[in-house]
Amino acid sequence: MLSKSINFLNQPKNRILTIILAFVGTVTPVVGLHKFYLKQPLWGVIYFLLSWQSPIARIACAIDMVLYLVQDVEKFNLRFNSNDITETENIITNPQQVAEIGTALRELEKLRQEGLISEYEFEQKRRQLLV
């Protein structure tokens, strides 16, 4: 049971579920669930503690809900679903392959700077190259 819940928390975050959890915090005394879901436990605890004395936590949940509603899906994914890829996870032994990946990353960066691809597309392609 515990492994299933840990596996659930390690999955990519769903924007709609985050909005629903923020809404639950707005209309019920259970606040901060969306912060725990987004792997921000400190904020979740702060919301929970604030809910005992004042309506500030519910107001904050409502504000978060609106922000997630108007936030672009790409920005949400960049903020909450970007897993850092460390160099130790991707050890490449072929020097030619390293050079090809470096060249491809520079070309991607150039396209991003010129505005031809978005930040989200850049991040997706970068991850594909590094895997």
Amino acid (one-letter) located at 81: N
User: What pLDDT does 84 receive?
Assistant: 42
In this predicted structure, what is the pLDDT of residue 117? 87
Give yes or no for a contact between 85 and 125, defined as CB atoms under 8 angstroms apart. no
Q: Which of helix, strand or coil describes residue 53?
A: helix
Beta strand segments in the chain, E:
none
Comparing CA positions, the residue from 30, 31, 21, 27 lying closest to residue 68 is 21
Closest CA to 80 of 118, 45, 124, 39: 39
pLDDT tens digit sequence for 46-77:
999 988 888 899 999 999 999 999 988 888 98
Enumerate the domain spans of the chain: 2-80, 95-130
pLDDT per position as a tens digit, 84-117 = 433 334 455 677 778 888 888 888 889 889 888 8
pLDDT at position 89: 43
Give the per-residue pLDDT at 3: 63
Say whether pLDDT at 83 is over 50.
Answer: yes
Give residue 2's pLDDT band: very low, low, confident or very high (50, 70, 90).
Answer: low
